[in-house]
Structure 1
Amino acid sequence: MLDLKPIYGSYSPDDCQFLLTPIETEFLSIEEKERRIQTGTAHYSEMIHREPAPSDTYLDMFETLCERYAHRMAGEVRLLARELVAEYGPSERPLTLVSLVRAGTPAGALLRRAITEYEGQPCHHYSISIIRDRGIDAAALDYLLDTAGVDPQRLIFVDAWTAKGVITRELRHDMARYNTARKAKGKSLIATRLAVISDIGGTADYAATCEDYAIPSGVLNATVSGLVSRSVLNEQIPEGAFHGCVVYDELAEQDHSQAFIERIAAQFPAVDLDALPGLQESSRHRQQALMKEMLTQIQQDYAIEDINHVKPGVAEATRVMLRRVPALLIVCDANHADVAHLLRLAEEKSVPVVEDSRMPFHACSLIKVMAQQEVV
């Protein structure tokens, strides 16, 4: 019998409960991981590389972004909190935020703070795994509904941003499958709704903005996400267990996770909600069209066959630079402050950079197609 229980990483238990299984695993190099992905030897979720501590120079850039965007992010989180409470209604029944590991984790922790402290609504925050082509963690959802006893009609999925909309589609598709299985057993169903801070793909149900900007938590990895890795799903995960993760305890001295939550939350009292415009539905539709058009253009310009090799938006471009093998960095304006950290990473990794002012987002990274002789 599995003993399923949350872990907390480096967060306060009130801020986040991870429904993940800590594992110790073999680390691969980024290059070897990329080779196995592209040859179909292994799914990306089966492998992981060891995350290094960010350099002092890179942390200085993170600090600059925090100074620039702490107030903006606080305002957008509070705006989103107000929208969710208005949509779901005040109630003695808590709202349950279920963030998607791991980009959604800091967003979910901040959103819980705003809902409980400024909207007067009880709220809990869990963080669970969803994996492209593998779906959402059904064991974690079962735990929430059958063990934690959350109200499925007051459950909201949370991510920090959308890009191409791949995870949004994965979430909706897999939740339809999950709900169908629940219905067949006569069990309660989950209303699938996704809330994000920045909806540059125009695919979320609730969002504070459609603008692409350097959300500070999007430029670091585990050291701003509770020291937890992205989720892992391989033979080490027992049947019925939560998806896996690595906890990077060795990075504790470089950890900014809880400090980041406190820093943004400290800006909450200074937010003037009435001065924030909110997001119109027309903006979301327009953003969808712009994203689709630009992705098509990029595929044509660079003869890219696999759309999964195109990663638009500052945050997604950063993830490629940190976790994949990049072929090219495209920026809308090389002088814009939001891409400074990307240009630094490109220089360190000898990745070519081009400017394209047509893009409706600040940056886009292209993943390198590994040469056949390199992967055999």
Structure 2
Amino acid sequence: MLITFFSGSYPANDVRFLLKPLKMQDTPVHVKEALIQSGAQHYSELLTHESLPSPEYLQLFHQAMALNQQRMAEDLLRLTKQIVATRTQGITLVSLARAGTPIGVLLKHILARYYTIEAPHYSISILRDVGLDKNALRYLVQNHHPGSLVFVDGWTGKGVIARQLAESLRTFAAETGIFVPAELYVLTDLSGSAAVAASADDYLIPSCILNATVSGLISRTVIDKKNLASTDFHGCVYYQGYKPQDLSQYFINTLLTVINKLSTDPVKPYDSELDKQSRQTISEQFLKQITQRYNVSHHNYIKPGIGEATRVLLRRKAKLLLLRESDNNATQHLRWLAQAKSIPIDILSDLPYQAAALIQEV
């Protein structure tokens, strides 16, 4: 198979997307929800065209950068240190497109700058109910030691992607005899499901506020059966027309500037093992309580944490935004989105996360 790499709007040596750029039909949000929830189509087969953020919303992104870039820089250094400590077979960064992509790019730069490790970085698709892109995974293990693969994402919500990753790699090992460590590395692990995390706090990771314009101008990943052959990687839309508004490189450069001012050994590593069981318990109790309180038919419709709540308000039909506090800086963009889309807000002081969102059941 002839592989044509593309890097979106990133420099070619920062990332190789193991994705196939496609033209996709636009599916309006209300139509998408009806098709997904009726079971007529899987969410991975549908894409709503992304609009550019408004100037007011962009201002909230820049505020989030000012407030949280130091915290994120420290967590990136902490996570890099843990990657180096846990990978003796070399390091191949594999970010999960697309929230993981900016994280992977930054980790690649930190590894080169502070550890003189030139780690290749790929970004691949993983989809709930579908799993990891098998063609991308085959490509990776053919070209790199399976034990060197480091799967990277921004955060965990309910732990669905961490479990999907583990299931995909179990199946892959059974089919091929090739064992790849089923370990997810994240900046913050709300659900206690990541193998390695820099934190467990629900804080605002600034890149979660935007879509394609902070992730190399690519859409979330899709499977379009009409346009993808069985040997193709999963697909994506490349929003090349948004290049004048692209903030992907600005985001990387800004964080690297902050990182350069920090010590290379910021603070003691976060002991995710110590906290993992309690995080899992909190997650399970939260899902149970919200299911009962709001009469939610499936956990798929509950999205805990700032990052997941933001995705719902940007891409899905939201029923309700839940906040722990009415005026926290970390949730300002969520309140703006809720107001813009007439989504009601409930304040729950006992919420274990800063925010959560419920998807409207149609």
TM-score of Structure 1 vs Structure 2, range by shorter chain: over 0.9
Of residues 344-353 and 259-268 in structure 1, the stretch that sits farther from structure 2 once superposed is 259-268
Contact kept, 8 Å, 1:198 with 1:212, in 2: the verdict is yes
Give distance in 2, aligned partners of 1:292 and 1:273: 36
What is the aligned partner in structure 2 of residue 343 from structure 1? 335
- Name the TM-score, length of structure 2 as normaliser: 0.97
What is the aligned partner in structure 2 of residue 17 from structure 1? 16
What is the aligned partner in structure 2 of residue 202 from structure 1? 192
Give distance in 2, aligned partners of 1:201 and 1:119: 30
What is the aligned partner in structure 1 of residue 111 from structure 2? 115
Q: Alpha-carbon deviation of 1:310?
A: 0.1
**For structure 2, which runs of at least 5 residues remain unmatched after alignment?**
none
Q: CA RMSD in A?
A: 1.2
Of residues 157-166 and 228-237 in structure 1, the stretch that sits farther from structure 2 once superposed is 228-237
Q: Alpha-carbon deviation of 1:305?
A: 1.1
Q: Alpha-carbon deviation of 1:111?
A: 1.0
**For structure 1, which runs of at least 5 residues remain unmatched after alignment?**
371-376
Q: Alpha-carbon deviation of 1:216?
A: 0.4
What is the aligned partner in structure 2 of residue 285 from structure 1? 277
- Name the TM-score, length of structure 1 as normaliser: 0.93
What is the 5 A alignment of 1:254-269?
254-269=245-260
Contact kept, 8 Å, 2:322 with 2:356, in 1: the verdict is yes
Pairs aligned (count):
360
| Secondary structure at the counterpart of residue 343 of structure 2 | coil
| Secondary structure at the counterpart of residue 294 of structure 1 | helix
Give distance in 2, aligned partners of 1:14 and 1:192: 26
What is the 5 A alignment of 1:23-172?
23-89=22-88, 94-146=90-142, 149-172=143-166
Q: Alpha-carbon deviation of 1:251?
A: 1.3
Superimposed CA distance per residue, residues 316-342 of structure 1 (whole angstroms, 9 cap, x where no aligned partner)? 000000000000000011111011000
Give distance in 2, aligned partners of 1:232 and 1:196: 23
What is the 5 A alignment of 1:350-361?
350-361=342-353
Give distance in 2, aligned partners of 1:26 and 1:6: 23
Q: Alpha-carbon deviation of 1:274?
A: 4.6
What is the aligned partner in structure 1 of residue 167 from structure 2? 173
Q: 1:309 to 1:271 in 2, by over 3 A?
A: same
Contact kept, 8 Å, 2:6 with 2:17, in 1: the verdict is yes
Contact kept, 8 Å, 2:303 with 2:357, in 1: the verdict is yes
| Secondary structure at the counterpart of residue 161 of structure 1 | strand
Give distance in 1, aligned partners of 2:360 and 2:30: 10
Q: Alpha-carbon deviation of 1:4?
A: 2.2
Give distance in 2, aligned partners of 1:105 and 1:222: 11
Q: 1:44 to 1:117 in 2, by over 3 A?
A: same
